[in-house]
Copies of this chain bind each other. A is one copy, B any other.
Amino acid sequence: MVETECHEFVMDQGAGGTVVFVGTVRDQTQDKEVLRLEFESYQPMALKEMKKIAKTVIDRWHAFKVSIHHRVGALNIGEIAVVIAVSTPHRKAAFEACAYAIDSLKETVPIWKKEVFADGEVWVAAHP
């Protein structure tokens, strides 16, 4: 399971705390039932942008290790879409750094999510 791998990767014998964020596919958005999600990415740039986030986390919060993982393709309800794990010497930094990482991922990493409903589909956040 990717979540355990991510966490095991960031475990460090000097780490005071590891914070893991797990984003799963929700079963509804604005009261409308979602059947599944489809993610696509511009992969080489997505990896570059994820590495930038990881570098910031290491520089700013002195993280020992960072793991950022995002699935692409079709995902069903309840499936894990994203896992971010951060280990730091002190736990407060791990919470801040992990929250920063997921916030940044949602802002800068070229990944696109399409919600598929019974009666159509929509690219999330595409329109104002």
Chain A positions near chain B (C-beta within 8 angstroms): 1, 3-4, 7, 11, 13-24, 26-28, 77-78, 91-92, 94-95, 98-99, 102
List B contacts of A1 (CB < 8 A).
4
Closest to A106 in B: B91
A77→B17 contact, CB < 8 A:
no
B19→A18 contact, CB < 8 A:
no
Q: List 17 A-B contacts (CB under 8 A).
A: A3-B7, A7-B22, A13-B26, A13-B27, A15-B24, A16-B23, A18-B22, A18-B23, A18-B24, A19-B20, A19-B21, A19-B22, A19-B98, A20-B21, A91-B102, A92-B99, A95-B98
List B contacts of A16 (CB < 8 A).
23, 26
